Each structure stands twice: as structure tokens, then as C-alpha cells.
Amino acid sequence: MNRQFFSLAIGTGTVNQKGEWLEVFYSRPLLHPNPSLLNSLVPLLKYTGGNTFIPIDSTTCHALETVFRNQQQSQLADDIKALETSKQPRVITILETDAAPTSTPEVYLKLQLISHRLIKPNQINLQGIFALLPNVAWTNEGAIDINELPQRQFQARLAGKLLSVNSVDKFPKMTDYVVPSGVRIAHTARVRLGAYVGEGTTIMHEGFMNFGAGTEGKSMIEGRVSAGVMVGENSDLGGGCSTMGTLSGGNDILISVGSHCLIGANAGLGIPLGDRCVIEAGLYLTAGSKVQILDENHQPVERVKAEKLKGKPDLLFRRNSVTGAIECLTNKSVTVLNEELHNHN
């Protein structure tokens, strides 16, 4: 096996009473691991190729520690050594290719590759993940199978404790798995695992970031960044604004926000937005919105659908306060974020 594999990770997670995986935590997932590492693992794991996950016991963990230490992966070797004495389920997941996942451990590896900033959302295959992610009760005692929750709640009460259910969802919050460097997240439950949060990003209390969405770098997020949407550096998404994702009506159009953009409070975006663009507060711009283009003297030039303006830079979208028509003219200002506000080191 001399060719480059897609990914490899060793982790621990939670299974239900049937032995089915609910979630997996990978401390240090590897993207494109060294082929020599895979060659060393083949005889140990009896790996025959393809994308798979393999439960491992303490004996295997000890052998894996030696392999990773010999491969100069000392930090990962230390993690594996700690797993040797763990009573939690342990697993190694190998992705030979970036094919559509076929198991829960594979999905969790791909989501964590994104949130660790090892790969960007739209550069990885997440097809079919919903069917592979069980709906889980996320509690102060970790992930619990929905069908096992009533008994666990009862047992907690008998012990004089409260089992608090924070959410019931297929996706956990990102910060229970990884906290990327240089970010500020005011309400962690509003950022799902699989989000790509760029360094310098601030996500305020009402900001939301879905899996498969993200920011390139410094950004202010006070609105919703939907699945599939990437926000360029130095852009500002105002309070209550919305981006139309691939799961919320965006269909095959991949919505994005360029750099130095401003989407005003309670505005919305349904086209890819170029650099240095502004959408005024309260204006929802969809691909089919009719837009009146104005020249430098603010005189009408032509009327087009907004989709014809996708990706074009330096545009200001506003609604005429008299006629109610959507207008587009050249944006002569650049959105500049407060450097001090977005320095999270």
C-alpha cells in the first residue's frame, strides 16, 4: 500500500446496549497519513483495504502505541497508551478514499476532520450521513440512546441526581469534540460538529453555524450560516440574518459570502456573493429576485434576476423606500472588522 490514503484516526466513543455506535471522539485525526504507517498497521489489524472501522482492545492498543511511536507520531502514541486502560469502547477508523461514508464512526471522523480545520466542508464527501447518524440524547452524562433514556433518567433520580438533557439531535455541539484556536463562541450549542470555524471568528449568541459550513478567517457571525455556506475573511453577518444552505432551499446552488462583505440585520442571501458586497438590513435576496441595476448617477440601466449577479464584487443591494424595488449599485465602502475584537489569542 504505497499510495496515499484519505484519513486515519483512533478514538473512543459511546455505544448503546445493542453495541451500536452513537458517537466517536478522535483526539488527533490524520489527513493523508504516511503510507508507511498504513503498511505497519495492515498485519496488526488484518486490514484488507477499503473504508472501515475496527474495534480495538487493550492488547491491540499496546501494539498500536509501538507502531505510532516508531512512526514518530509521539503525541498520538501517548493518546493510544492512555486508551489501553480505558473501559470505554475504542476504535480505529481507516478511510482509504473519500467515498460516501457507510458507518457512524466514518461520519464522525469526517465531521472532525472539518472542525479540526484539516479539510474544508465542500472538499469532503458527506453524502448520506443523516441515515448513519442516530438521533441521540446529549446529556450531562454524555450521549444516550433515545430508547434507553427513560431508564437512565430513573436511575439518576434513584441516586439523587439529575440527568440533564441538553439536546436531542443527530449532531452534537462542536466544542464537545474540538475547540479550534483563536475563536470566540458565545453560545456553544449553536455551532454543530462539522463546522469549520476560521481563526479570528467571533460567533455571538444568536449566531448559528451548521455542519458543512464555515468561515475562512476573521468574521463576525450574528446570523445563520447554513450547511454548505462558506464566509470569506473580514465579513460581517448581522443579527438575525440568514444564508440559504444546500439543506434549506439552496438546491444545487452553493451559496457563499465573499471577503469584506456585510449582510445587514435580518437580511438574507440566496446567491453566491462576491467580495466587498453589502445587502441592506431586512432585504432577502434570492436567486429569482428581480433587481434594478443603477448606474453611477443612480439611473436605471437594466432589470435582471439576482442570480445573474452571483459572484460579482463591489455591489450594494438595497430596497427603494418609495417603490419597494430591489436596486443594485456600486458599493464604494469596504467592510472593516475591529481588529481588537477579533484577536482571540
Q: Which of 23, 96, 222, 280 is catalytic?
A: 222
Whole-angstrom CA distances from 162 to 141, 153, 156, 189, 297 are: 10, 7, 6, 20, 66
HSE toward the beta carbon, residue 74, CA cutoff 13 A = 1
Spatial separation of the C-alpha atoms in residues 27 and 86, rounded to whole Å: 14
The C-alpha atoms of residue 229 and residue 16 are separated, in whole angstroms, by 33
Which triple of cell numbers denotes residue 103?
A: 458507518
The number of C-alpha atoms within 13 Å of 274 and in the hemisphere containing its C-beta is 14
* Look-up of cell digits 433515545: 146
Residue 199 annotated to the active site:
no
Q: What is the CA radius of gyration of the chain?
A: 23
Do residues 199 and 184 lie in contact, with contact meaning Cβ atoms separated by under 8 Å?
no
Number of neighbouring beta carbons within 10 Å of residue 185: 24
Beta strands 326-330; 284-285: pairing state: unpaired
Counting Cα atoms < 13 Å in the Cβ hemisphere of 62 gives 3
The angle that helices 58-70 and 74-83 make with each other, rounded to 10 degrees, is 170
Contact between residue 217 and residue 198 where contact means Cβ atoms under 8 Å apart: yes
Contacts of 326 (CB under 8 A, 6+ apart): 283, 285, 289, 290, 291, 292, 306, 317, 318, 319, 320
Helix (H, G, I), strand (E, B) or coil at 204: coil
Which residues are the active-site residues?
222
